[in-house]
Amino acid sequence: MVKRTPFFVGCLLLAGIAGCGARSASLVSSGRLGTGALEERSARHKPGLNGETGADTRVGENPGNDGSSTIVIGFVGGFVRKDNAAHSPVKIAARLRASYPSGVHAEVFENHHREDAFRRVIQLLDVSHDGKLSVEEKRDARIIIYGMSWGGSETLALANKLQEQHIPVLLTIQVDSVQKLGENDGLIPANVGTAVNFYQTDGLLHGRAQVRAVDPSRTQILGNFRYAYKANPLACKEYPWWDQWFTKYHTQIECDPAVWDRVEGLIREKIPVAEIKNASAGPG
């Protein structure tokens, strides 16, 4: 787990040069998520273990609602701009938009613009355009949220805000999540159907090692997956030298394509069959 006080001080010192969490992503996943990860935690949260229910009863799952749009919200870390194409959260959103010209809305926000993200979600859910969400519009919501570093903290902050409005979330994904002041990036709210956490523990800046569900009967934790780069470092050539020196392992989990391929795969698994067919057909 991140030591919060040293991290905050370190961010103040490094914000001007390193962006404090604005990196690119790299990961080697494990178990059911891939190959080569060093550690998986919270296996007890997997469906079918310790009396938990299966994924068919998770909140936000509505397999019969193929006609609704899937909303994918990403958060970049640190002070990265939402259109900085070098960063993995931005790359994922761009690939999703290219793959699904209809049926999927993928958009990235800076982590200090959570309110903008919330307003966009409400706007997209309001299919009747009457300025308020009906019970049906909330029930049919298909929302996925992912984020890197401070963006991981904002992932859960947005999920909590949606819970206040009784809006379900299909999936949350956190990558080397760093908790922001006044937030809790380790507790998955009960409106989230499935959650997963990827992290590394080396260097000045590193992510939360474990997330857990407020209500394990409603939320499936796929796992807390630990990665290490000391023995096999990555060359994050798109990132400035100060990122690679001062927060190099935090940078390497963001520039590791294996991590973000897995993130993208998890998102795509939640896209309904009808939307995939529409994407294959192409526009027109």
Spatial separation of the C-alpha atoms in residues 109 and 116, rounded to whole Å? 8
User: For residue 47, what are the CA distances in angstroms to 31, 33, 42, 173, 193?
Assistant: 15, 15, 11, 18, 11
- Sign of dihedral through CA atoms 76, 81, 83, 88? negative
Q: What is the mean pLDDT of residues 11-39?
A: 36
Structure token digits, residue 232 = 């096999």
- For residue 55, the tally of other CB atoms under 10 A from its CB is 12
- Beta strand pairing call for 39-41 and 220-227: antiparallel
Q: What percent of the chain has pLDDT over 90?
A: 57
User: Model confidence at 190, in pLDDT bands (50, 70, 90)?
Assistant: very high
Q: Which residue has the tokens 């919270």?
A: 42
What does the pLDDT read at residue 239? Answer: 72
Kindly give, in sequence order, each residue whose CB lies less than 8 Å from that of residue 240, ignoring residues fewer than 6 positions away.
none
pLDDT digits (tens, 9 = 90+) for 43-98: 333 332 222 233 333 555 544 333 359 999 999 998 889 998 889 999 999 999 99
Whose tokens are 């019970």? That residue is 135
Q: What is the pLDDT of residue 8?
A: 39
Domains of the chain: 4-272 (3.40.50)
The residue assigned the tokens 């000045």 is: 204
Q: What is the pLDDT of residue 192?
A: 98
- The reported pLDDT for the residue numbered 203 is 81
Considering the entire predicted model, what is its pTM? 0.79
Residue 242, C-beta contacts closer than 8 angstroms, at least 6 positions apart: 14, 17, 18
